Chain A
Amino acid sequence: MSALTESGSGAGARNETGSGPRPPASGTPRRGLTGRIGQMAFLRLLRMYLISRRIPTAVGVLIGLAGVLQLSLAEGWIHGITPAAQQLPLGLETAAGAIVATATANPFGESERTAVRWLPWLRPTVALALTAAAAGLFAAGAISRSVPGGELAAARNIVGIAGIGLLFAPFVGGNLAWVGPLAYFPLAEYALTVTWYTPWTWPARPPHDLGAALCAGLVFLAGAIAIALRGARDRVAE
C-alpha cells in the first residue's frame, strides 16, 4: 500500500483486497506516522504552491517597492501632506496591491483546481500573508521618515487595494488582476483631490477613520472569499 493511499484512509478503510476493514495492529504509532506523512505532504504542497505562484519573486518585488518608497522619501519626491504628495505613496500602495493580486495566477489551470483539496484554504491564506508582508515592508520602507497619511493608512490602503485585485482575479484571471487596483487608482486620486467623504475611497480618509478601515477590510474579505471559492480564472494557455 502506498503512503498516499494510507494517508487517505481512515479507521474504516478497506484492505488491499477490499474484502473488509483492516484491523488496527497498533493504532497510535500508525496514526503518528500518518500524521507526519500528512504534514510532510502538506509542507511540500505549500512549497510547491508558493513556487508556482512566484511568491518569492513577489516578496522581492515588494521589497523593491519599499525601497522605492524609502528613496522617494529620502530624495524629497514625497513631501508634505497635500493630495499631490499622497499620490506617490498611493501609487506604490497600488503597485503592492496589484502584486498581491497577480500572485494568484494559476499556472496549471482547471486540473489543479479539481485535484487539490487544500487550495481553497491556501489561496486566501497566502494572499493574506503576502498582503501583511507588503504592509510590513512598507512600514519598514518608511522607517525614520514620515509618509503622508502614516503607516496605518498605508497598511489599510494596501489591504483594500489588494482586495480589489483579489476580487478581479476570479473574473479576468490572475495575470490581468492588476487592472482592478489600477482602475481604482484614478478614483482614489480623484477622491484625494476633491476630498470625497465616502469611506469606499479609503485612501482619501484619515488614518484612524473606522469607516474607511471597515470598507477596506470588507473588500479584502470579499476578495479572499472570492479567491477561495473560485480561484483565479486562468487557463493553461494564458
Chain B
Amino acid sequence: MSTVDIPARTAPPPAAALSVLRRFGRLLLIESRRGAMPVLFPLVAVLFWFDALRTANGMVPTWPMRAAVIPNHVFADVGPFTAGVSAWMGAREKQRGMADLLGTTSRPRWGRQAATWGSCAAWTLLAYAGCVAGIYGVTATKATWGGPPWWPVVMTGLAVVGCCTVGFVAGAWFPSRFTAPLAAIGVVFVFSTVFQQAVAETGGITQISVSNSVPDPSIGVFYPTPPDVPMAQSIFFAGAVLALLGTLGFRGAALSLAPRRLAAVVALVGIAAAGTGLGLVSTSKAGPNGEIIPALHSAGSDQPIPYTPVCSSAAVPVCMHPAFEYESAQAQSSLEPVLAVVAGLPGAPARAEQVPLDSPLLPPPDAQEQSAATVATPAGGGAPVLYFGYQQQIFTSLAKPSNPQLQAQAGVSLMQSLIASPITADPAQQAVEGALLQEMGLPLGVPLQHTLDLYKGAEADDYSVAIPAPGTPAYSAAQKFAALPAATRHAWLAGHLAALRAGRITLAELP
C-alpha cells in the first residue's frame, strides 16, 4: 500500500478527544493551584463584609431589594480585583521571562492561555458564589415572603467573568507591571461612568451598566420585575467574553490555520452576541414595573403576583403584604387607632388592606406625599375596605414607629367616606368630623394641608382651612362633641350617621 492510499483523518477519534480534554483538565487543575486569586480572597472577603453584606443587612428584608445589592455592591467588590489579578496572570509568562520558552512547546498558546483564563474565571466565580451565598443566606433568615431572584445573579456573574476576561486579555496583549492596576481601575472607572449616565436616564443603551438604577423597595413584590434588561445584559457579557477570548487566538505568529479559524469563529460569535445584547438594551424603555425590552417582554409578566395578606388581630384588622410583614407594627400603630374610632358604624371599613402606592385604587400621590389611603368597596362586593399604600424605606434604620401622614390621610378619607368631604361639609358635619379626627390623633383646628391633597380639584387656598376653623360655632360644637365619652359619641353616631351624611342635622342638634 502506498502512502497515497491512506485515507485522510478528518477528526480525532473519541478516545483522542477524551485524552485532549483530560490533558486540558489536568492543566486547568495545575493552573488553579498556581492562581493568584486565592491570595486575595481574604481582602475580597473583608471588602465584601464591609460594603456589600453590611449594606444588604441594613436594607429592608425583601428578596428583590437584597438581590439589588449583588449588581450594585458585590460586582464593585469582586470585579476590579478579578480584573487586576487576571491581568497579572495574563502577563505572567512575559513577566517571568517564560514567553520564549513556552512559545517553543508543541502545545498551542491559545490552549495554554485558555487553561490559565479558566482557572482565573473559576476562582473568580468561586469568590462571587461565596458572596451571593452570604447575601442570600442572610436574607433567607429575614425575608418573610418570596424567593431569591436569579437573573441578577446570572447577569452579575457573567459581568464578573467579563471583568476577569478583560483583565486577562489586557495582560496577555500588553504584558506590563502597570497593566494589572490599570485594568482594575479601568473597570472601576468605566463602571462608575456608565452607572452615572444610567441612573440619570430612563431606557437606552446606558442600561447595559451592571448597576443601572436605584432600587425601589416595592419592586418585585406586588408585580414581578421584568427580566428583560438582565437577559439582554447577560447576552452582551457572554458575547463580550467570547469575543475577547477569540482575540487571544491571534496572538503569536506560530499558530497554524486551524486554531486561527477557530479563534475567528469564537470571536465572531462573541461579537454577534455582544452586538445583539447591546442592540436589545438600546431599545429598553420604562414599563409599568421596571425597564422593559419590547422584543423580550412577555405581557404575562405584568400580571400581579398572588399573595395572601397577613392581618393583625385587631377588631378591624390591618392587612399587609407578607413581604412587608416587618413593617406591620408601623402600619398597625398608624391605622388601628383611626379605624377603632369608626369601628361598627354603618359603612365603616371592615379591614384595612395594603396595595401598591401606584395602584389605581388609590388617589395618585403628589410629589411631597409618600403615602395614600382611600375607602372603597372591593371589586367582588362586600363591606368597604380602607386601602392604603406607602413608600417603603430602602433601609430599615430609616423606618419610623408610626406614619403620621398615612394616619392623617386615612382619617380624612374615612370622614369623606362616612360623612362628607371636609371641604364641602356643612357646619354640623365639620364639627363631628373635627371631633372624630381629634380622637384619631389629629388636633382640632390644625390645617390639613397635606392630607387634603387627597381631594383633587381643591384650590390651594382650601388647603389652609382648618376643619373646623377656630372661633366658629362649628369649632365650639366640635369641642363639645369631642368632650363626650367615646361610648356616648359612638352610640349617637350609630343612630344619626345617615341623617348627618344627608345634611339633615344642624349644629344645635349635636349632643
Contacts and interface: CB of A to CB of B under 8 A. Distances in A.
Interface of A: 54, 57-58, 61, 68, 72, 77, 84-85, 87-88, 91-92, 94-95, 98-99, 101-103, 105, 172, 174-176, 178-179, 181-183, 185-187, 190, 237-238
Contact of B43 (A58, A98, A183): A183
Contacts of B84: 178-179, 182
B188 interface: yes
A186 B47 contact: yes
A30 to B, nearest CB: 43
Question: Main SS of the interface on chain A?
Answer: helix
Contacts of A99: 178, 181-182
Q: Which 6 A-B pairs have the closest CB atoms?
A: A178-B181, A98-B181, A95-B185, A91-B189, A91-B188, A87-B192
B268 interface: no
A186 B50 contact: yes
13 contacts: A91-B185, A92-B185, A95-B182, A178-B180, A179-B84, A182-B84, A182-B181, A182-B184, A183-B47, A185-B80, A186-B51, A186-B76, A187-B50
Size band of the interface chain B makes with A: 20 to 34
B50 A102 contact: no
Contacts of A175: 88, 95, 177, 180
B196 A77 contact: yes
Given A95-B181, A105-B177, A187-B50, A179 B96 contact: no
A238 B81 contact: no
Given A87-B192, A102-B181, 9 more contacts: A57-B176, A57-B178, A88-B193, A95-B182, A99-B178, A175-B177, A178-B184, A186-B47, A190-B51
B394 interface: no
Contacts of A238: 95-96
Question: Main SS of the interface on chain B?
Answer: helix
Contact of A237 (B50, B81, B96): B96
Contacts of A182: 80-81, 84, 181, 184-185, 188
Contact of A54 (B40, B176, B180): B176
B343 interface: no
B125 interface: no
Contacts of A84: 196
B361 interface: no
A179 B184 CA distance: 9
A179 B81 contact: yes
A61 B177 contact: no
Contacts of A105: 177
Contacts of A176: 36, 39, 88, 180
B336 interface: no
A94 B76 CA distance: 15
Interface of B: 36, 39-40, 43, 46-47, 50-51, 76-77, 80-81, 84, 88, 95-96, 176-178, 180-182, 184-185, 188-189, 192-193, 196
Contacts of B176: 54, 57
Nearest to B176: A57
A88 B192 contact: yes
Which of B47, B77, B178 gathers most chain A CB within 10 Å? Answer: B178
A218 B438 CA distance: 62
A174 B50 contact: no
B177 A54 contact: yes
Contacts of A185: 80, 188
Contact of B178 (A54, A68, A172, A190): A54
A88 B50 contact: no
Given A179-B40, A179-B84, A98 B185 contact: yes
A237 B95 CA distance: 9
Contacts of A237: 96
B45 to A, nearest CB: 11
Nearest to B80: A182
Contacts of B192: 87-88, 91
Contacts of A94: 185, 188
B235 to A, nearest CB: 26
Nearest to B188: A91
Contacts of B184: 98, 178, 182
B37 to A, nearest CB: 11
A82 B314 CA distance: 47
A61 B185 contact: no
Nearest to B48: A186
A38 to B, nearest CB: 31
Nearest to B199: A84
Contacts of B50: 186-187, 190
A58 B81 contact: no
Given A179-B40, A186-B77, A237-B96, A102 B189 contact: no
Contacts of A57: 176, 178
A54 B192 CA distance: 29
Contacts of B178: 54, 57-58, 61, 99, 102
A32 to B, nearest CB: 40
Contacts of B80: 182, 185
Contacts of B185: 91-92, 94-95, 98, 182
Contacts of A92: 185, 189
A68 B36 CA distance: 29
Contacts of A187: 50
Contacts of A88: 189, 192-193, 196
Nearest to A165: B181
Nearest to A53: B177
A75 to B, nearest CB: 9
A69 B193 CA distance: 12
A237 B47 CA distance: 29
Contacts of B47: 183, 186
Which of A54, A58, A85, A185 gathers most chain B CB within 10 Å? Answer: A185
Which of A84, A85, A182, A186 gathers most chain B CB within 10 Å? Answer: A182
A105 B176 CA distance: 11
